[in-house]
Amino acid sequence: MPEQKSRILNFGPLRRVFHYAAPYKKKFFLSVALAIVLAVITPVRPMLIQLTVDKYIAHSLINMVIRITIIQIGLILVETTLRFVFSFITAWLGQAVVRDLRVTVYKKILGLNLSQFDKTPIGTLTTRTINDIESINDIFSDGLIPIIADMLSIICVLAYMFSRDWQLTLISLIPFSIMIIATYYFKESVRKSFFRVRNAVAALNAFVQEHLTGMQVVQAFAAEEKEFTKFKKINREHRNANISAIFAYSVFFPVVEIVLALSVGLIVWWTAKEALLLHKDEQGTVVAFLLCLNLLFRPLRVIADKFNVLQMGIVASERVFKVLDNKDFIPEPGELAYKAEDGVKGKISFEQVWFAYSDENYVLKNVSFRVNAGETVAIVGHTGSGKTTIISLLNRLYHIQKGAIKIDDVRIEDYYLDVLRKNIGVVLQDVFLFSGTVMDNITLRNPDISKEKVIEAAKLIGMHDFIMRLPGEYEYNVMERGSTLSLGQRQLLSFIRALLYDPSILILDEATSSVDTESEQLIQHAIDTLIKDRTSIIIAHRLSTIRKANLIIVLDKGEIKEMGNHDELMEKQGFYYKLYRLQFDQKSKVA
């Protein structure tokens, strides 16, 4: 990612961040009020000490010294309590905003067009949802509000110092020119380092997530050393970025101490000169000014760091808002949306559909076909011909560029998404199971689906006996991505998952491609039972499984080459005939 130009503050994202604090405005205004109170009472202690030294200690008024000391202790306790409350409220406010924002972002991600996940690494979205949103917390806990509190404190201390002795104040601030220059270079150095750190974190998240998911491939091709080398390179960049920031801190803080020492030296020199030449007694003023310098330098030590934290929080918020502002999402229809209150019958029609994943590289070209309710259509063709794309479009996972897709003569864009998808059951070739129990994966944690229904569906598929043999039966933990089950078993579970929702339209994407002969027979028996009076779309690699389909569509390079039933297409001796004979001949050779 190219480094962004330095800006004092970008108020656009900052305003949007504080918009999320609106529900907690009472705590926000309380934190601002506490910042003002803390700023006002900051110079009180130096004032009391100056008074004590000049009036009470000099005149041996021990009782007054004791009283002032007690007042000082009480003041310290009050200030400590207020600072604790201030820190807690700002941190609480940040966490509340982070919680709300993370929910909003995740909800947005759930509604994004599937093409966004094709183009964006999952690790990057993970960084946006977790790391970047967590950085927004720093805007509240270590950013804008604490900076305002520190600035008010500095102003109040300086106001007291100028009111007490403006000449001595100016003398003590002479070394601040060094401080300003050092702060600027420190801020710039840390800002650049933070950018590098954040980019490296995003790269690390994306790399680790991708390679942990694909670890089987890495190990199968003995690519561990090669991938480990890549990881070390990314990790080295992360380390170097952090070391660069550490170096800046290591230089800056000693400079601050030197500047403080110079200011102290100038105060001592000036007051000593005044005492010798003008015989002024300024013991109380010296003590008060030394305390004031510490009160000035305490926030100045960290204000540049806090400013960087604020900038990084704003940069992180810009990244998060890019996700929220993404227009490539699936919009819900308006108030006149079709609710299908009488249910979906299952009539499907594609009317001159054109679709491209990117630009105008069309994957489907002028595709038109019609499936009546209760019929079975099979889609066949070589790999990459557009078979799976058709079912993705039917589910509104992507937007079409031209044409129309209708169910029961209603455009799919006019259905509510939940209505549309609840009426379409899908069994994909690449089955994804979540970490959890067999029951969780079948029902997708839907409390409305009873265990009895799950068992009934499992018996229909022929999986009940297998599940009952698992440790824990339906409560057996399949682990992440179903790693403890075979590919065929995972596919059978996903088949049960699809059947439980009793869809009007059933889609089987290579549903029998990864199972053995016995499992295929079980599924085929279930299919024969289920497709009765139900619209079914079958994408099949094994052409022998689709001979009974009402309609077979032959795709080639995104275009429909042939349509008809098995007998009609065999008589034509065209594309389908060649595919069928090729597969039959391959089986004969294997036999």
pTM above 0.85, yes or no: no
352 and 320 within one domain:
no
Stretch among 10-14, 204-208, 507-511, 526-530 having the lowest mean pLDDT: 526-530
399 occurs within a structural domain: yes
Q: Is the pLDDT of residue 153 over 80?
A: yes
Q: Is the pLDDT of residue 585 over 60?
A: no
Stretch among 91-100, 262-271, 390-399, 506-515 having the lowest mean pLDDT: 506-515
Looking at mean pLDDT, say which of 87-96, 335-344, 507-516 comes out highest. 87-96
In angstroms, the Cα distances linking 190 to 306, 314, 318 are: 11, 15, 19
What's residue 166's pLDDT?
A: 85
Last residue of a domain, one of 324, 358, 393: 324
The domain of 177 spans: 13-324
- Please tell me which residue, 209 or 103, carries the higher pLDDT value: 103
Stretch among 348-357, 375-384, 489-498 having the lowest mean pLDDT: 489-498
445 occurs within a structural domain: yes
- Strands of 362-371's sheet in order across: 362-371, 348-356, 402-407, 410-411
389 and 304 within one domain:
no
468 and 418 within one domain:
yes
Last residue of a domain, one of 269, 290, 324: 324
Overall average pLDDT of the 537-551 stretch: 76
271 and 125 within one domain:
yes
553 occurs within a structural domain: yes
Q: Is the pLDDT of residue 510 over 50?
A: yes
367 occurs within a structural domain: yes
370 and 280 within one domain:
no
What's residue 385's pLDDT?
A: 81
Stretch among 211-215, 428-432, 516-520 having the lowest mean pLDDT: 516-520
335 occurs within a structural domain: no
Q: Residue 480: which pLDDT band, with cuts at 50, 70 and 90?
A: low
What's residue 116's pLDDT?
A: 66
184 and 66 within one domain:
yes
Neighbours of 290 (CB within 10 A): 18
Overall average pLDDT of the 338-361 stretch: 80
Distance CA 11, CA 414 (A): 39
Distance CA 489, CA 156 (A): 72
361 and 287 within one domain:
no
Neighbours of 430 (CB within 10 A): 12
pLDDT tens for 172-195 read 888 888 878 887 787 777 777 777
311 and 365 within one domain:
no
Overall average pLDDT of the 331-340 stretch: 65
Q: Is the pLDDT of residue 69 over 60?
A: yes
390 and 269 within one domain:
no
217 and 73 within one domain:
yes
pLDDT tens for 438-452 read 888 788 777 778 888
Question: Can you give the three-state secondary structure of 370-399, one letter per residue?
Answer: EECCCCEEEEEECCCCCHHHHHHHHCCCCC
452 occurs within a structural domain: yes
- Please tell me which residue, 34 or 441, carries the higher pLDDT value: 34
Average pLDDT in the chain? 78
The domain tally of the chain equals 2
Output the domain CATH number for residue 586. Answer: 3.40.50.300
For residue 571, list its beta bridge partners. Answer: none
354 and 318 within one domain:
no
337 occurs within a structural domain: no
Q: Residue 483: which pLDDT band, with cuts at 50, 70 and 90?
A: low
Q: Is the pLDDT of residue 488 over 60?
A: yes
Long-range residue pairs from 467-470, CB within 8 A, at least 24 positions apart, any chain: 467/438, 470/438
Last residue of a domain, one of 264, 292, 324: 324
The residues near 66 (Cβ < 8 Å, ≥ 6 apart) are none
360 occurs within a structural domain: yes
- Please tell me which residue, 531 or 546, carries the higher pLDDT value: 546
* Antiparallel, parallel or unpaired: β 410-411 and 402-407: antiparallel
Output the domain CATH number for residue 319. Answer: 1.20.1560.10
Overall average pLDDT of the 43-69 stretch: 74
166 and 29 within one domain:
yes
Overall average pLDDT of the 474-493 stretch: 72
